[in-house]
Structure 1
Amino acid sequence: MRFLLIILRGIGQVMFQNNIYSGVLFLVGIFFNSWLLGLAALSGTLISTCSALILRYPKEDVKNGLYGFNGALTGIAIFCFFEVSLTTILALIIGAVLSSIIMYYLKKITLPFTAPFVIATWILAYLLLFVFKVPLLSTSVSTSNTLDILASFSNSFGQVMFQENMITGLFFLLAILVNNRLMAIYAVYAAILGSLTGWLFLESVSEVNAGLMGYNAILCAIALTGKSWKDFLWISIAIILSTLLNIGMGLTGLITLTAPFVLAAWGILMLKKVKNSL
């Protein structure tokens, strides 16, 4: 039972919610959209958590799910981009283990956020593509020319875990709300501002509606949540910065994942530290 609670916390920590009920709601949302990606999330969390236990990483961190969420994201990403096969299953296992190892060492230097997931997934995805010649899954692209605020808002929440589904997005928002109302309010603000920023910078409406301009913004808002007006200003800057980074990195052809969030959050924390030292 205790191990199950650790797994649920690990899934909840994808959006920095150390709450088993958040973890349950995230899981329900993923399974609502895709049973395969739901299994991938569970598998990634289990493997990365067990890896941390075997490697004897700090028990309190493991207990709080800090060695589960990057594995969950890595697991989802592998089966989101590639078909299920023996090769991709092995990639999921290796990626989840690697995410825990990167988490442990990166944590000694800075706040890792989802950087372990990004690094592990980049390594495995590009190995699968260019070394093992595993093709990417084909995806259908919407050709909508009309901005749909509701769709972009809800899908932004879903896209944090690669789910383009409005109902799933609402489950994710509820998962944040049950743990922290202020974070939920900031997440709503981020989803809207991030989507509008992408639209104003002439990103395709289909990408905005799919939530691809809002999910990094949501993570920035949650990670930097605070109660002062200064926090509001920093969060607003981070939201816009992460969206612009998302657009810029996308132009290079790179699989952006949550790298724009990580870079924006690190940048804002560094600026805050410099400002406070003056």
Structure 2
Amino acid sequence: MKFIQTILRGIGQVMFQNNIYSGLLFLVGIAYNSWSLGLAALFGTIISTVTAQLLKYPKDDIQNGLYGFNGALTGIAMLCFFEVNGFTLLALFIGAVLSTITMHFLKRALPPFTAPFVMVSWFVIYSLLFVFNLPLLPSAATAGNTFKFLTALINSFGQVMLQENVITGLIFLLAILVNNRLMAVYSLYAAALGTLAGWLFSEPISGLNAGLMGYNAILCAIALSGKKRSDFMWITLTIILSTLLNIGLAMTGIITLTAPFVLATWAILALKKVKA
């Protein structure tokens, strides 16, 4: 039973929710959109968690899911970008293991957030692309050229875990609300601000409606959420910075994943330390 709770906490920690019910709702939301991606998230979390146990990493960190969430995201990414075959399943396993090891070493120097997922996924994805010549799955084009703000807002939640589905997005929002109402409010604000910022910078309507301008903002807001007035200012600044980074990285052709969130949050945390 404890192991199941650890796995659910690991999935919940993707959005910094140390709550088994939040983790269960996240898993349900993924599976609703794609059962294969739901299994990928589950297997990625299990592999990364077991790796941490075998390497005897801190027990409390493991039980709190801190060695599970990067594996969950890595697992999803492998089956989101490539069709299922022996190479991608092996890549899922290797990626989940590497995410745990990377997490362990990064957390000695700075808050790792989802950096292990980003670093490992970039390495594995581009290895599959350029070394093994595996093609990326074609992206599903979002229909219509009309900006749908509410659709973009809700899809932003799903895109944190690479899901484009309104019902999934609503389930993810509920998962945050179950654990922390303040974080839920801040995440809604972040999704709205990130999406509107993308619109002001004339980002493609299809990308806005898919939630691609809001998901990094959501992670920024949750990571920095607090009850002080200054927290609102720092969160707003981080959201804008992450949006600019999202646009800039996308222009290079790189798969952005959650890199804008990580880089923006690291930068603002460093600035806060200087200002303190």
Q: Distance in 1 between matches of 2:266 and 2:218?
A: 15
Q: Who is 2:43 aligned against?
A: 43
Q: Who is 1:57 aligned against?
A: 57
Q: Who is 1:159 aligned against?
A: 159
Cα deviation, residue 101, structure 1: 0.1
Q: Distance in 2 between matches of 1:143 and 1:3?
A: 42
Counterpart of 2:213 in 1: which secondary structure? coil
- Amino acid across the alignment from 1:213: M
Q: Distance in 1 between matches of 2:258 and 2:211?
A: 13
Cα deviation, residue 139, structure 1: 2.0
Cα deviation, residue 228, structure 1: 1.1
Q: Distance in 2 between matches of 1:274 and 1:126?
A: 36
**Cα deviations across residues 228-274 of structure 1 (Å, max 9, x unaligned)?**
11100000000111011000000000000000000000011000000
8 A Cα contact 2:22 2:178, kept in partner: yes
Q: Distance in 2 between matches of 1:95 and 1:143?
A: 33
Q: Who is 2:28 aligned against?
A: 28
**Cα deviations across residues 92-132 of structure 1 (Å, max 9, x unaligned)?**
00000000000000000000000000001000000000000
Cα deviation, residue 144, structure 1: 2.2
Cα deviation, residue 146, structure 1: 1.2
The alignment yields a C-alpha RMSD, in angstroms, of 0.6
Matched, 1:182 2:182: yes
Q: Distance in 2 between matches of 1:50 and 1:140?
A: 34
Q: Who is 2:208 aligned against?
A: 208
Structure 2 gaps of 5+ residues are: none
- Amino acid across the alignment from 2:252: T
- Amino acid across the alignment from 1:46: I
- Amino acid across the alignment from 1:66: L
Structure 1 gaps of 5+ residues are: none
Q: Who is 1:119 aligned against?
A: 119
8 A Cα contact 2:70 2:117, kept in partner: yes
Counterpart of 1:25 in 2: which secondary structure? helix
Q: Distance in 2 between matches of 1:156 and 1:255?
A: 17
8 A Cα contact 2:187 2:219, kept in partner: yes
TM-score by length of 1: 0.99
Aligned residue runs from structure 1 range 244-259, under 5 A: 244-259=244-259
**Cα deviations across residues 40-64 of structure 1 (Å, max 9, x unaligned)?**
0000000000000000000000000
Aligned residue runs from structure 1 range 12-161, under 5 A: 12-161=12-161
TM-score by length of 2: 0.99
**Cα deviations across residues 187-243 of structure 1 (Å, max 9, x unaligned)?**
000000000000100000110000000000000000000111110000000011101
- Amino acid across the alignment from 1:41: A
Q: Distance in 2 between matches of 1:27 and 1:124?
A: 23
* Residue identity (%): 69
Counterpart of 2:4 in 1: which secondary structure? helix
- Amino acid across the alignment from 1:224: L
Counterpart of 1:237 in 2: which secondary structure? helix
Cα deviation, residue 143, structure 1: 4.7
8 A Cα contact 2:142 2:209, kept in partner: no
- Amino acid across the alignment from 2:204: S
Cα deviation, residue 34, structure 1: 0.2
